[in-house]
Structure formats: structure tokens, C-alpha cells
Structure 1
Amino acid sequence: MATYIGFLRAINLGARRKFAKAAIVRATEAAGFTDVETYINTGNVRFATSLRSRAKIEAALEAAYLDEAGFEVPTIVFTQAELRAIAEDAERFADGHDGRHYVSLLKQAPTAAAVRAIEERSSAEEVAKVGGRAVHLLLGANYHEAKLTNAVIEKALGVATNRNLTVIRALAERWC
């Protein structure tokens, strides 16, 4: 059995996409996964499985979440080592940055051309740095008005969900 961490996209936003932690646990267990734990209400779930294919794991979770929640829940899965590497990359990528640091977690690995295109959108106030299936967004004081957002990342690189670095670090410490 291997342990994985799943990140659910676009839940608990607005009145129609509510998906409580207990329901996430129930659905994850119904899909056959064990040792299930959630962390805060933004859609972070740890579980164990004998499956080794990320695509099969994501498909099983997405089907279970659709059944439980009644709406599609795109799910992005990482191994413990991958999540630990994302947290470690944050230190290297931030390199003295003292603003807001968010991480867009990608369902699929981007091409080299896509990585170049998104990193070239960086400015003095907003920087995007890609490491594997993670895009580190280093934003300034006006992060609510940022041009480099998860929506921009998704348009360029495909399905993604976003967490702040504090959550990424907490999950890496807690689950890796």
C-alpha cells in the first residue's frame, strides 16, 4: 500500500459546490481507499491504496466524489515524495520573495513550451516558476488584483487547483 495526497478542485466555493470533509472521507473510503484523512475545508485528502496508476486513482476518486457530492470534482493526486519536493522547491523558487506565495497544482505535466510561456508572463510584481506539476506564484501586496492567477495557469497548462504555501508546507509536514 502506498500513500497519496489528493487535491480537490473548486469545492466549498459558493452555495452550490459544498463538499464537507466527512463526505470526502466517506466517498474516498467507498472508492476502496484506506487510512483516509482530510485537512482543512479546501479539499485536501490523504489515503492509501494498492493502485499505482495516478490516472486510475484520480478516475476512481472523481467517480466516487461525483456520486457523493452530485457534481464533478476534478482531483489531482501526488505521491508523498512529490508533495515533499513541491514544498522544498518553494524555498528555492522564493529566493528572498516576501510577498504571497501560492502553488497551482497541475493534473498533467506541462510541456517545455508551455512552461516557458507561463514563466515569460512574469513581471517585477508577479513571478511564475514551474517545477514539475506545480506552478509557484510569487505575488506582491496587491495579490487580489494579480494577473497571474490559477485561472490563467489553467488556461495555459490545463486543470489545476491552487493552495497557499502555508497549506502546502503543513501537508508536507503532516503527511510526508
Structure 2
Amino acid sequence: MATYIAFLRAINLGATRKFPKDAIVAATEAAGFTDVATHINTGNVRFDTTMRSRARIEAALEKAYLEDRGFEVPTIVFTQKELAAIADEAESFGHGGRHYVSLLKEAPSAAAVAKVEAVGTADEVAKVGGRAVHLLLGDNYHEAKLTNATVEKHLGVATNRNLTVIRTLAEKWC
């Protein structure tokens, strides 16, 4: 049995994409996963499974969520070790501004990484490590060009969390 953490993309936005924490737990358990827990209502889910394939886990969760909600819920899964490494890597940047992390469904190519990093400026920097893109933003974060939408344009399906959430989940679940 192994523990994984899933990040659900684009839930609880507007009136038609509601997916409350209790419903996430129930759908995850109905898909056969155990020891399910959530953290805040933005789609952060910890669970245990005997499955070892990330792709199979994501597919099983996405199927269960579609059946439960009636809309697709892209799901991005990490091992505890991977999540802890993302939180630890953030410390190396020594950034004092806004820090968000876009979590990628697939590992990007070097060419794609170069494209997203090229969008950066002195006030907005993207640091890509594996399936995590650290967005280091200054005071202009409300007007930032480096957003999860920019990340998705260049690197594919992603969901975004602030560094506080990433650190909290790593401390709580890893």
C-alpha cells in the first residue's frame, strides 16, 4: 500500500463546477482508494492504494469524479516523496515575493521549459523542476504574465497552488 497526493484542477469555480470536500472523499473511496483525506476546498486529496502506475491512478480518479460530478476533473498525482521534494526545492529560491507552484500532469520537454522560462521578466520568474513550475512573482502579481494559463499554454495540463498550501501539505502528508 502506498500513499499518494492528488491535485484536482478547476473545481469549485462558478456555479457548475462544485465539488465539496465530502463528495471528493466519497467519490475517491468509491473508486477503491482508502484512508482518504482532503485539505481545504481546492481539491487536495491524500489516499492509499495498491496501484503503482500514476497514469492508472489518475485515470481511475478522473473516471470516478466524472461519474460523480458529471464534468471532467483533470487530476494530477504525486508521491509523498515528490511532493516533499517540491516543497524543499522552493527553499532554494530564497524568494520573498509571491510564490505559486503549477503542478504538471506530464513532465515537460526541455524545449517547452525554455519557452515558459523565456516569458519571465525581472519581476516574474518561472523555475521548472520536473513536474513543478515555481512562479516567483513580485508586487505586480495581480498583473503577472506568468500564470497557470501561461504554464498550460507551453507545458500542458497543470493546476496551481500557492507555496503555503504546498508546504502545509508536505508537512501534513509526507
Q: TM-score range by the shorter chain?
A: over 0.9
Given the two structures, how large is their TM-score scaled by the length of structure 2?
0.99
Secondary structure of the 2:108 match is coil
- 1:57 equivalent to 2:57? Answer yes
- Distance in 2 between residues matched to 1:115 and 1:88, nearest whole Å: 20
List per-residue Cα deviations over 1:119-154 (Å, max 9, x = no partner): 122111100000100000001112111000000100
**1:118 Cα shift?**
1.1
Aligned pairs for 1:68-107 (under 5 A) are: 68-92=68-92, 94-95=93-94, 97-107=95-105
Gaps of 5+ in 2: none
Flag as ranges the 4+ runs of structure 1 deviating above 4 A.
none
Residue 14 of structure 1 is matched in structure 2 by 14
For 2:114, the aligned partner's letter is: R
Q: Percent identity?
A: 78
- Distance in 1 between residues matched to 2:15 and 2:89, nearest whole Å: 35
**1:43 Cα shift?**
0.2
- Distance in 2 between residues matched to 1:70 and 1:24, nearest whole Å: 13
For 2:86, the aligned partner's letter is: I
**1:70 Cα shift?**
1.2
Aligned pairs for 1:22-41 (under 5 A) are: 22-41=22-41
For 2:131, the aligned partner's letter is: R
Secondary structure of the 1:82 match is helix
Q: Are the counterparts in 1 of residues 119 and 145 from structure 2 also a CA contact under 8 Å? A: no
Residue 118 of structure 1 is matched in structure 2 by 116
Gaps of 5+ in 1: none
List per-residue Cα deviations over 1:54-98 (Å, max 9, x = no partner): 000000000000011111000000000000000001011x22x21
- Distance in 2 between residues matched to 1:38 and 1:68, nearest whole Å: 17
- Distance in 1 between residues matched to 2:72 and 2:118, nearest whole Å: 32
More moved, 111-120 vs 83-92: 111-120
Residue 161 of structure 2 is matched in structure 1 by 163
Given the two structures, how large is their TM-score scaled by the length of structure 1?
0.97
Residue 42 of structure 1 is matched in structure 2 by 42
Residue 147 of structure 1 is matched in structure 2 by 145
- Distance in 2 between residues matched to 1:122 and 1:143, nearest whole Å: 12
Secondary structure of the 1:68 match is helix
